[in-house]
């Protein structure tokens, strides 16, 4: 794992955007794995700015998002499809038919998960996968005790995840209980993985991911098995890393 400890959250998001832009320049037809959530908003803002500056283009790329809530149609205000359209797809030059999310409103969510996994494989798997991390160590919606060999499937959300995401819904009870998520093995097949975590609320999960045992109890710890994983954190999210100074010696200021 490459650990980049950045001075603040904005710098950390910019570093993640730099890696995506570099991938697009190196391989314009790359398949991006995309994430949602509060942390990613700054990454997408930085990518929109780089795109506007002529620094990167999504025109030849395609994308697969990590997950979607079961029961939410693409036009639902809280769907991840809607989030992606607002925060990225509608503001850069992605071809609409080359951006993919699971259909939350599919009549058979299990069959939709299988279809989505097959579509990722048919695309040749993910080139660069962007990830956030839950305070409970989840990646995508792979909650603690998810099989490290899991593929795209339906998962029941943890109470803490529903509570954390309630801020995006009118009422806490509106947060769906189920989601379709790429599995941990699906994520590990990506050529390159970039995980971004900022803020003190992620410090414990970050320490368990990087320095704890590889365990289904902390799904993000599976990234220890990946050959090309970069973890970008701000100082607050790095606060519980035993070897923080070592990582900073290797990459001063996250550079």
Query: Are the C-beta atoms of residues 114 and 178 closer than 8 Å to each other?
Result: no
Q: Which residue in 65, 136, 142, 165 is the catalytic one?
A: 136
When asked if residue 130 is in the footprint of ligand PGA (CB under 6 A), the reply is no
Q: Of the ranges 17-25, 131-139, 150-158, 237-245, which one interacts with ligand PGA (CB under 6 A)? A: 131-139
Shortest CB 250 distance to ligand PGA, Å: 26
253 is annotated as an active-site residue: no
Looking up tokens 């570093």, which residue turns up? 15
Q: Where are the beta strands (DSSP E) in the chain?
A: 2-6, 31-34, 62-65, 67-69, 99-100, 128-131, 153-156, 178-181, 192-197, 229-234
Query: Are the C-beta atoms of residues 132 and 99 closer than 8 Å to each other?
Result: no
Strand partners, 234: 6
- For ligand PGA, which residue of 14, 127, 134, 137 counts as binding (CB under 6 A)? 134
Residues 6+ apart with CB under 8 A from 26: none
48: enclosing H helix or E strand? helix 38-52
Degrees, nearest 5: CA angle 95-97-103: 130
When asked if residue 132 is in the footprint of ligand PGA (CB under 6 A), the reply is yes
Shortest CB 79 distance to ligand PGA, Å: 15
**DSSP class of 157:** P
Q: Which residue in 18, 67, 117, 234 is the catalytic one?
A: 67
The length of the chain is 255
When asked if residue 38 is in the footprint of ligand PGA (CB under 6 A), the reply is yes
Q: Which residue in 68, 143, 234, 235 is the catalytic one?
A: 143
**DSSP class of 142:** B
When asked if residue 33 is in the footprint of ligand PGA (CB under 6 A), the reply is no
Shortest CB 122 distance to ligand PGA, Å: 26
Shortest CB 38 distance to ligand PGA, Å: 4
Minimum CB distance to ligand PGA smaller for 33 or for 37: 37
3-state DSSP call for residue 2?
strand
When asked if residue 176 is in the footprint of ligand PGA (CB under 6 A), the reply is no
When asked if residue 21 is in the footprint of ligand PGA (CB under 6 A), the reply is no
- For ligand PGA, which residue of 14, 18, 32, 39 counts as binding (CB under 6 A)? 39
In the complex, the residues that contact ligand PGA under the rule CB under 6 A are 37-39, 132-134
- For the annotated catalytic residues, the residue numbers are 67, 136, 138, 143
């Amino acid at each position: 794992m490459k650990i980049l400890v950045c001075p603040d959250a904005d710098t950390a998001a910019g570093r993640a955007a730099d890696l995506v832009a570099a991938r697009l320049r190196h391989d314009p037809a790359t398949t991006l794995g995309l994430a949602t959530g509060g942390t990613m908003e700054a990454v997408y803002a930085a990518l929109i700015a780089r795109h506007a500056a002529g620094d990167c283009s999504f025109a030849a790329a395609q994308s697969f998002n990590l997950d979607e809530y079961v029961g939410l149609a693409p036009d639902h205000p809280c769907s991840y499809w809607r989030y992606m359209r607002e925060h990225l797809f509608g503001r850069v030059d992605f071809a609409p038919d080359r951006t993919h999310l699971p259909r939350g409103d599919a009549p058979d969510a299990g069959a939709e998960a299988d279809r989505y996994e097959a579509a990722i494989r048919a695309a040749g798997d993910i080139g660069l996968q962007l990830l956030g991390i839950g305070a409970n160590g989840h990646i995508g919606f792979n909650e603690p005790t998810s099989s490290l060999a899991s593929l795209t499937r339906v998962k029941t959300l943890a109470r803490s995840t529903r509570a954390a995401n309630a801020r995006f819904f009118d009422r806490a009870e509106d947060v769906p209980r189920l989601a379709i998520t790429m599995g941990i093995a699906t994520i590990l097949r990506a050529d390159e993985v970039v995980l971004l975590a900022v803020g003190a609320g992620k410090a414990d999960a970050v320490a368990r991911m990087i320095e704890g045992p590889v365990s289904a109890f902390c799904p993000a710890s599976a990234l220890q098995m990946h050959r090309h994983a970069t973890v970008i954190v701000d100082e607050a999210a790095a606060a519980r890393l035993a070897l923080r100074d070592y990582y900073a010696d290797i990459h001063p200021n996250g550079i």
